[in-house]
Structure 1
Amino acid sequence: MKKYRLNRLFNEKSNRCLNVAIDHGFFNENIFLKSIENLQLAVETVATAGPDAIQLTVGQAHYLQSLPGKNKPTLVMRTDVANVYGKSLPSHLFSRMISDPVAQAINQDAACVVVNLFQIPGQPKVSDHCIQNILKIKPLCDRFSMPLMIEPLVFQSNELEGGYMVDGALDKILPLVRQAVELGADIIKADPTTNVNEYHKVVEIAGKIPVMVRGGGKVSDTEILTRTKAMIEQGVSGIVYGRNIIQHRNPVAITKALMGIVHHDLTVDQALEFLN
């Protein structure tokens, strides 16, 4: 049964997925709201480009699911909320899961749920929260045949630059990705490594579990397309991009450009044509 829902996520020809994350408002950070102040408009705009999936929260999924017709993107539903992203962190950090997450996802007709697995320097309690969240949701996902996407994220120390700073060190990403697989992930959503050409090792450590790469902070068109092309060549099963799409001057065009690389193996120059 999980396979049936996974079929709604992955393209039938490329067997890859482009998931647009628009769940940033869940985390109570003003900077995350840029370009999604009007979330209905953001969802409708991205949906017109036809990505495979859009990632939303339980309170905002209706903007996608109420769109008419049968060809709209598939819903991936965020199930946990955390307060670990600000430049000035609060004294008490947490990661909490919504109640009855799988039942709520089924009610929203989601094809997948997503939950974080944080590794933050000096914050083992947050990692414990994440593991407890996963231990609770995993048997529910199995019972109701709901695919579980786990998002292993290795942070740099907040004292270095502040904010949501990703650590791209391969030796830190590999064990956390493997832990996510061991905990029962059906899909991995992980950060890119600093050296993109090492990413096949992340795919290898995940075994048969498909790995999708996060986009991270906003970068130039050429950089995001070049990185995406390199990741596809490293064997990933897709991408999960948020700000590089929703904060783009033309979200529809960049989505189509990325889909050209993900599904049709276009070159970077060919993909850039969508933006001209």
Structure 2
Amino acid sequence: MTILGKRIRMERIMNRNTGRTVIVPMDHGISVGPIPGLTDMKTTIQNIADGGANAIVEHKGLVEEGHRKGGSDIGLIIHLSGSTSLSIYPNAKTLVCSVEEAIKLGADAVSIHVNLGNGQEKEMLNDFGKVAYEARTWGMPLLAMMYPRGEKIKDEYDVNVVKHVARVGKEMGADIIKVSYTGSPESFREVTEGCAAPVVIAGGPKMDSDRDILEMVKGSVDAGGAGVSIGRNVFQHRDPKRMVQAISSIVHEGATVDEGLEILG
């Protein structure tokens, strides 16, 4: 029954026709506070849902702030880990929610953030192992946000470290792996080919150019990526609804970058 349950939940966050997904993470409040785009959560979530995103990521305390209200439905991924920029160890993520609690809140999936290459790596891997076991036991899809960040990392966009952390995510039992884009379809293909699980890209810092965002999305999909998990470049956009529509057109409909830009006007 857990296998059936996982399949049903996966269909709420992955498009069954394309096998890809457009996820908008909005878990930034714990890390950096109420940044622009995340002050009026109900409006932001509604715009993202109306744009056609497959799922959002948020912490447990914000589930009631508009999820599945106002007519538009959207998958719910509850984030299980956190840290703050106020800490002297901001890269050290700790568990702040459990799989069971997320189920009680109506989650379709759970996510965990793991930074590798720092002094707290072993604790985060230990937490990852426990969460992966609980998720498998309950039939809950698990999204792993995998980043090479810490004292040993010289370049967190280096394809060699990105494909390593992506592989760690799969080896540990995640169903979807989120990593940074490595800059080109050619290099990112090394990441997708080395990870036997759907790989989605992070959006990174807020970009100034819509074309840059859509070219990154297009490049990742062309390299075998399974879509996106883009936050600030969606919810801080001048028109989040249309940005989701533009990204979705590339991820699910095979649109070109120029066609995506036409949606943005």
- TM-score by structure 1 length? 0.87
2:187 equivalent to 1:198: yes
| Residues 35-85 of structure 1 deviation map (CA, whole Å, 9 limit, x = unaligned) | 21122221122122121111111111222435155x5110011110123x5
Q: What is the alpha-carbon distance in structure 1 between the residues aligned to residue 183 and residue 7 of structure 2?
A: 32
Give the match for residue 165 of structure 2.
176
* Cα offset, 1:156, TM superposition: 6.3
| Residues 219-239 of structure 1 deviation map (CA, whole Å, 9 limit, x = unaligned) | 110001011111111011110
- Structure 2 counterpart of 1:134, from 99, 124, 128: 128
Secondary structure in structure 2 of the residue aligned to 1:63 = coil
Change (3 A) 1:93 1:210: closer
2:41 equivalent to 1:39: yes
Q: What is the alpha-carbon distance in structure 2 between the residues aligned to residue 256 and residue 186 of structure 1?
A: 25
Give the match for residue 82 of structure 2.
81
Q: Which amino acid aligns with 1:150?
A: A
Which segment is superposed worse, 170-179 or 192-201?
A: 192-201
| Residues 139-160 of structure 1 deviation map (CA, whole Å, 9 limit, x = unaligned) | 1111110011111101266999
Give the match for residue 114 of structure 1.
111
Structure 1 spans left out of the alignment, 5+ residues: 161-165
| Residues 4-55 of structure 1 deviation map (CA, whole Å, 9 limit, x = unaligned) | 211111112222100011111021x24x612211222211221221211111
Q: Which amino acid aligns with 1:8?
A: R
* Cα offset, 1:262, TM superposition: 0.5
| Residues 112-160 of structure 1 deviation map (CA, whole Å, 9 limit, x = unaligned) | 111012024xx322x1221121121111111110011111101266999
| Residues 202-259 of structure 1 deviation map (CA, whole Å, 9 limit, x = unaligned) | 111112x111111111111000101111111101111000000011001111110001
Q: Which amino acid aligns with 2:205?
A: G
Change (3 A) 1:139 1:91: closer
Q: What is the alpha-carbon distance in structure 1 between the residues aligned to residue 11 and residue 261 of structure 2?
A: 29
Q: What is the alpha-carbon distance in structure 1 between the residues aligned to residue 48 and residue 115 of structure 2?
A: 28
Q: What is the alpha-carbon distance in structure 1 between the residues aligned to residue 42 and residue 90 of structure 2?
A: 32
Give the match for residue 93 of structure 2.
95
Give the match for residue 20 of structure 1.
24
Structure 2 spans left out of the alignment, 5+ residues: none
Change (3 A) 1:24 1:260: same
Q: What is the alpha-carbon distance in structure 1 between the residues aligned to residue 188 and residue 264 of structure 2?
A: 27
Supply the RMSD in Å over aligned alpha carbons.
Answer: 2.2
Does the Cα contact within 8 Å between 2:91 and 2:149 map onto a contact in 1? no
Percent identical pairs in the alignment equals 25
Give the match for residue 224 of structure 2.
235
Secondary structure in structure 2 of the residue aligned to 1:140 = helix
* Cα offset, 1:177, TM superposition: 1.4
- Structure 1 counterpart of 2:201, from 191, 194, 213: 213
Change (3 A) 1:18 1:93: closer
Change (3 A) 1:156 1:267: farther
Q: What is the alpha-carbon distance in structure 1 between the residues aligned to residue 59 and residue 89 of structure 2?
A: 26
- Structure 1 counterpart of 2:146, from 152, 176, 184: 152
Secondary structure in structure 1 of the residue aligned to 2:22 = strand
Change (3 A) 1:196 1:156: farther
Does the Cα contact within 8 Å between 2:25 and 2:56 map onto a contact in 1? yes
Does the Cα contact within 8 Å between 2:21 and 2:227 map onto a contact in 1? yes
Does the Cα contact within 8 Å between 2:115 and 2:150 map onto a contact in 1? no
Q: What is the alpha-carbon distance in structure 1 between the residues aligned to residue 165 and residue 152 of structure 2?
A: 19
Give the match for residue 238 of structure 2.
249
Q: Which amino acid aligns with 1:135?
A: G
Change (3 A) 1:175 1:107: same
Secondary structure in structure 2 of the residue aligned to 1:236 = coil
Change (3 A) 1:133 1:91: closer
